[in-house]
Amino acid sequence: MAETLKTHVLIVGGGPGGYVAGIRCGQLGLDAVLVESAKLGGTCLNVGCIPSKAIIHVAGEFETMTHAAAQENKKGRHGISLSAAPKIEFAETVRWKDTVVKRLNTGVAGLLKRGKVRVVNGWANFSDAKTCSVKTPDGEVVIQAEHVILANGSMPVELPFLKFGGNVISSTEALALNAVPKKLVVVGAGYIGLELGIAFRKLGADVTVVEALDRILPLYDEQLVAPVAKWLQKNGVAVHLSAKAKGLAKDGKSLSVETKEGLRDFPADKILVTVGRRPNTEGWGLENMAIDMAGRFVKVDDQCRTSMRNVWAVGDLVGEPMLEHKAATQGEMVAEIISGKKRRFEPASIPAVCFTEPEIVSAGLLPAEAAAKGEVITALFPFMANGRALSMDSGDDGGFVRIVARKDDHRVLGIQAVGAHVSELSGEFSHALEMGALLEDVAGTIHVHPTLSEAYHEAALRALGHAIHI
């Protein structure tokens, strides 16, 4: 006989939107049950953000050692030389990555346990908006709730003519390979494809990128993308734009691509398909919940309420951007609203980071977007004039910090940067926008020397007409 649970809050999905909602429910004294079919932490912790950054870190270390051992450079790199080229045991790299993931998994489980949130392992299937059944290893559990928070997440988009399986892989499989592929073809030049493509190139793979559009990283403007394009060219990554993947070639080991020069076959040990993600809306009874949709996403208002009373949805399920920090913020907010607090999801910006080489960070409006709303000031400060960047040997990669502000009142509308380690500036950028900073506020804030943040300070000074170091 099925066990029946009655709870105040039912959370479906143990990713950042769901587990953060659960932890906050516990802090607020709300009785909550969380259902997760796989591992706690969701895509980001298990097969996305965290493991990919671990692999990117190792790739950077390997690249540095490779340069130090280069035969054409007898003095090594910065006075450091190796007598032999480094070797990579990628299976060991993956095992180390898994220890990082496991540590974070354990931490999430502990936080939920401390908050007295019951975790039910299995796949939730809804019969109506407030009732679901879960087949667990110990039997079926029926859960009835007053409030339901849907945090089902998303999954990689699969091309109908290039199904996942065998040598055709998604980012999930790419992060669990036993060895670095000799030849890797990446389909899609968005942030996931380029992050992983660049990492595998640093690890020694021969990488080819195929993109249907006429540019890489289409969410960013050409000025931001240029340093990444420069790195790709310098490091021998073949990029084919306006090129459409057609499917596996007759040999079953190559990718057929319609290029500007005609149909070509690109040999590949692995074909990594990264053409986006789609909300996880199938197979769990969404159609039984009488919830309105907004295209392929669940429709919500600025409090993450769906059209069904006391049913909420957060994260990738409700639309772009599909980012961990958006989902976590929404999950926390919904828990607080259920507890009686007054909250709305109206951030001044949702910053985004692309962990390419070099990194890109963007918060607020890009110059063209801001200019469409009125007259603006745009100013840029290059890292080639920043002492910290030069001391890290990253001042000559074309990186910079750029600030965009309204011309009439100097209100900051957007901040972007491209360069080594600029992801660590994202919080300061977002904070300035959230607080409604003026150019004068940024210019009047003392920034520590020597740090990359000085370039942000100098960009604001330059927008005001008096940069110091340029």
Q: Bridge-partner residues for 130, per DSSP?
A: none
Please give the pLDDT value at position 252: 87
Is the model's pLDDT at 1 over the cut of 70? Answer: no
Instruction: For the chain, give every residue range classified as CATH 3.50.50.60.
Output: 3-47+96-154+278-338, 168-275
Q: At residue 215, does pLDDT exceed 90? A: yes
Which regions of the chain carry the CATH code 3.30.390.30?
352-463
Write down the H helix ranges in 41-119. Answer: 42-47, 49-68, 90-114
Tokens 């943040």 correspond to what residue?
A: 453
- At which residue do the structure tokens 């249907």 appear? 212
SS3 368: helix
Q: What's the CA gap between 127 and 131, in Å, rounded? A: 6
Integer Cα distance of 295 and 322 in angstroms? 15
**Residue 432 Cα distances to 51, 149, 366, 401, 435, angstroms:** 30, 31, 15, 14, 5
State pLDDT tens for residues 90-107.
999 999 999 999 999 999
Average pLDDT, the chain: 96
Residue whose pair of structure tokens reads 């003519």 in the numeric block: 161
Segment 24-40 mean pLDDT: 97
Q: Among residues of the chain, what percentage have pLDDT more than 70?
A: 99
Question: Which pLDDT tens digit goes with each residue over 416-459?
Answer: 999 999 999 999 999 999 999 999 999 999 999 999 999 999 99
Return the minimum-mean-pLDDT range out of 54-63, 70-79, 417-426. 70-79
pLDDT digits (tens, 9 = 90+) for 156-205: 999 999 999 999 999 999 999 999 999 999 999 999 999 999 999 999 99
Residue 34 has pLDDT above 80, yes or no: yes
* CATH 3.40.50.720 corresponds to the domain 168-275: no
* Cβ-contact 185, 272 below 8 angstroms: yes
Share of the chain above pLDDT 90, in %: 94
- Which residues are CB-contacts of 98 (< 8 A; sequence separation ≥ 6)? 51
Mean pLDDT on 206-230: 97
What is the distance between the alpha carbons of residues 368 and 404, in angstroms, rounded to a whole number? 10
3.40.309.10, 1.10.10.10, 3.10.450.40, 3.50.50.60: CATH of 3-47+96-154+278-338: 3.50.50.60
Which active-site residues does the annotation give?
A: 449
At residue 388, does pLDDT exceed 70? yes
Q: How confident is the model at residue 405 (pLDDT cuts 50, 70, 90)?
A: very high
Residues in the chain: 470
Region 16-39: mean pLDDT is 97
- According to the model, what pLDDT value does residue 78 have? 85
Residue 384 has pLDDT above 70, yes or no: yes
- Multiple choice CATH, 352-463, 3.30.390.30, 3.20.19.10, 3.40.50.11810, 3.30.9.30: 3.30.390.30
Q: Which residues of 74-109 are buried (b: 16+ CB within 10 A; e: fewer)?
A: eeebeeeeeeeeeebebeebbeebbeebeebbeebb
For residue 70, pLDDT beyond 80? no
pTM for the predicted model, two decimal places: 0.95
